[in-house]
Amino acid sequence: KKSLSVGENIIFKGEESKVNNKILNKGHKIRAQDIGSLLESGITKLLVHSKLNIGVLSSGDELLHPKEELQPAKIRDINTYTISNLIKSSGNEVTNYPIMPDNYESQLKIAKKAFQECDILIFSAGSSISYRDTTAKVIKNLGKPGILVHGISVKPGKPTILGICDKKLILGLPGNPVSATMIFTNIVNPILNSMYNFTPINTYTECILSENISSHTGRVDYVPVKITNKDDKLYAKPVFGKSNLINTLVFSDGYISIPPAKRGLYKNSKVKVKKYEQ
């Protein structure tokens, strides 16, 4: 038998929570433990934000559905599904639309339908400046004021479009999958969080850079890295590759951001790695 001291194994009144004490703040993203705390206090109903329904529209004559047999001068559409899963990870709902050809009239027809059905639209590809890239023209004809920003000083992801059409957020992401993923992570996701008044706590892993990285002043560079452990020290090894190679992200654990004031980073310098969400 074990003797007990006074108050042992007892939860006293008001120990967990007290009258008029706030449990959750506005803009808090509800977790499993939060639900338990609310129920413990007898709170079974809560006023929350509705999930946003975000439409994804990919374009390109070269795109095939992933189940189709690969053909010369064609590639499988991966952006629709990569972006869709990033949207789901952000806690929102997604509606995917059929692949749009490089034709303005066809794109505008599908975009107008999506505009009526969704809260936000995300275009994939067609944001560069060439005769085949018609996304900007389509966005301009969805509502006013239209395009606010076309092109940002980042790599990868320079031809990004930000717009508002009749009070609805419209975004144009580059067609290269690495660019699209980085822009969603660093531009789109913070915008979505702000719409819920949610400010996430960003966590980073401090590492030692294993080699030099060059950059250009005046832009932000996102560089994928692989984290390794050597002699109980964490090292970040850059994973270089073209922005249309998705495996650049697959074979890395996260990325580092090089600020616009720097022309690069030196080997053995300390860097903060933002790991990809699981």
Contact predicate 229/236, CB 8 Å: no
**DSSP readout, 151-173?**
--SEES-TT-EEEEETTEEEEEE
- Tell me how far apart the alpha carbons of residues 96 and 85 are, in angstroms, rounded to a whole number: 11
Number of Cβ within 10 Å of residue 192's Cβ equals: 18
Confidence (pLDDT) at 132: 62
CA pair distance 75, 73, nearest whole angstrom: 7
pLDDT of residue 14: 81
CA distance 149 to 201: 27
The Cα 198–Cα 142 span in angstroms is 28
- What are the domain boundaries of the chain? 53-195, 205-275
Span 53-195: which CATH code?
A: 3.40.980.10
For residue 233, the cross-strand partners are 230
pTM exceeds 0.95, yes or no? no
Are the C-beta atoms of residues 271 and 213 closer than 8 Å to each other?
A: no
pLDDT tens digits, 252-269: 999 999 999 999 999 999
Q: How confident is the model at residue 149 (pLDDT cuts 50, 70, 90)?
A: very high
The CATH T-level fold of domain 205-275 is Beta-clip (2.40.340)
Grade residue 230 by pLDDT with cuts at 50, 70 and 90.
very high
**pLDDT tens across 64-94, in order?**
999 999 999 999 999 999 999 999 999 999 9
